[in-house]
Amino acid sequence: MTKQSIILGIESSCDETCCAIINQNGDILANVIASQASIHAPNGGVVPEVAAREHLSAMRPVITEALKQSGLTLEKINGIAATGGPGLIGGVLIGTMTAKALAFARDLPYYAINHLEGHALTARFTHKLEFPYLLLLVSGGHTQLLSINSLGQYERYGTTLDDAAGEAFDKGAKLLGLGYPGGPAIEKCAKTGNPESIKLPIPRQQYRDCHFSFSGIKTALANSVSKHSGPIPTADFAASLQATISSSLISRSEIAMERFASSATSEENKMTFVVAGGVAANKEIRKNLKSLAESKNFNMILPPLEFCTDNAAMIAWVGMEYHMIGKKTEFDFAPKPRWPLDQKASPPPGRGVRQ
Ligand code: KG4
Ligand code: ZN
């Protein structure tokens, strides 16, 4: 490894085509994102086939733009990383084939990166964070609590049995006629609402584990809306939905913090709690998580939002971590629609098999 290693990363597992270039100090030399949000908005969610076609046309311009932003040519790049899963397979295939082609043509190492590992290690370049730490990943595709022990060593404490928290916001917003993406719309609308006026059940309160379930909230909201007589108090429903999702995240995070603390080796230092994913943009949820963290002797870290949501800098960074220990991926790597971070984790109880 040379002193000035530089990795180019590609992310295309959902509805954003991204390319970033990073050096081994974690400096971002380029970070380009082509979002498809406006294309999917009329459908109220991501249409996989449409997403794949968009990735195909955006991939090359996004890489060209990243190189231009960095002022570098491909000759200066020391390795190519791309999300190899989990995610929508069409997009993952396009990113993987592009990365392999670039690496093969330039005789560079190729790194297939687990998208979740990208989120998990983001705070390592944004905050130069040392292992271990506790992570809450809360996005439109994932809701997980993980102990991030060291590179490649991740212990999943819990995951969702069905929908992700972001999905609950999106589906709730659709039901209330607030548009897509639902999270920001619900947050805005909730400001003038009373979270106490409509009661929605907080899922899985009877279980002392770290697993989530959000599909029931949507059903409870739908039932509550249909039973309501007179004009629908949208703000009250939005506030109640937000408060219920927040309470669920808080109660599971509390259990995870206790578990993490009980396995911590040192009792002197404050432990670290990282929150990542699009739902972390929600101010109410952030405030509640922060006070929980303080009460449990955790320092809460929230990477800047542009690196919390899907981006290629996190993929390039994980590529760099593996590059630094010389662990590249073979060219016969096959993209994985499912790829749990913790291969040893037992499946969550009930019907869920989400990663
Ligand atoms: O991490 P992200 O950008 O994409 C992936 O899912 O990978 O997360 C998007 C999710 C969407 O479900 C969106 O509704 C939710 O994050 N979100 C929010 C807020 N902003 C985005 N949820 C609640 N409050 C917000 N302010
Ligand atoms: Zn993501």
Atom of ligand 1 nearest to the CA of 182: 14
Does the residue 237 lie in any domain? yes
Asked if the model's pLDDT at residue 290 lies above 60, the reply is: yes
Residues 258 and 319 in one domain: no
Does the residue 329 lie in any domain? no
Residues 198 and 298 in one domain: yes
Residue (of 20, 45, 221, 248) closest to 140 by Cα position: 45
Does the residue 343 lie in any domain? no
44 lines ligand 1 (CB under 6 A): no
Going by CA atoms, what residue is nearest to atom 2 of ligand 1? 278
Does the residue 195 lie in any domain? yes
| Contact (CB, 8 A) for 206 and 248 | no
What sections of the chain are H helices per DSSP? 37-40, 48-70, 89-106, 115-126, 165-175, 182-190, 215-227, 234-263, 283-295, 305-308, 313-324
What is the mean predicted confidence (pLDDT) over 232-261? Answer: 97
What is the mean predicted confidence (pLDDT) over 150-178? Answer: 95
Residues 25 and 97 in one domain: yes
The pLDDT, as a whole number, for residue 353 is 47
The domain of 216 spans 131-302
Residue (of 162, 116, 169) closest to 276 by Cα position: 116
CA–CA distance, 224 with 158 (Å, rounded to integer): 29
Please provide residue 107's backbone torsions phi and psi, each rounded to the nearest 5 degrees.
Answer: 60, 45
The pLDDT, as a whole number, for residue 229 is 85
Q: How confident is the model at residue 162 (pLDDT cuts 50, 70, 90)?
A: very high
Question: What is the number of residues in the chain?
Answer: 355
CA–CA distance, 80 with 99 (Å, rounded to integer): 6
Counting residues of the chain whose pLDDT is more than 90, the rounded percentage is 79
Q: Over the chain, what is the mean pLDDT?
A: 92
CA–CA distance, 190 with 179 (Å, rounded to integer): 14
Does the residue 198 lie in any domain? yes
CA of 278 to the centre of ligand 1 (A): 3
Q: How confident is the model at residue 50 (pLDDT cuts 50, 70, 90)?
A: confident
Which residue type sits at 343?
Q
Does the residue 338 lie in any domain? no
184 lines ligand 1 (CB under 6 A): yes
Residues 35 and 166 in one domain: no
CA of 230 to the centre of ligand 2 (A): 39
CA–CA distance, 17 with 6 (Å, rounded to integer): 20
Residues 91 and 104 in one domain: yes
Contacts of residue 245, Cβ cutoff 8 Å, sequence gap at least 6: 165, 168, 169, 214, 217, 279, 285
Residue (of 189, 251, 183) closest to 45 by Cα position: 183
Residues 187 and 70 in one domain: no
The pLDDT, as a whole number, for residue 267 is 61
Residues 66 and 36 in one domain: yes
Residues 34 and 75 in one domain: yes
List the CATH number of the domain containing 190: 3.30.420.40
Residues 97 and 168 in one domain: no
Query: 303 exposed, middle or buried (CB, 10 Å; 0-12, 13-18, 19+)?
Result: buried
Residues 42 and 96 in one domain: yes
Number of domains in the chain: 2
Does the residue 83 lie in any domain? yes
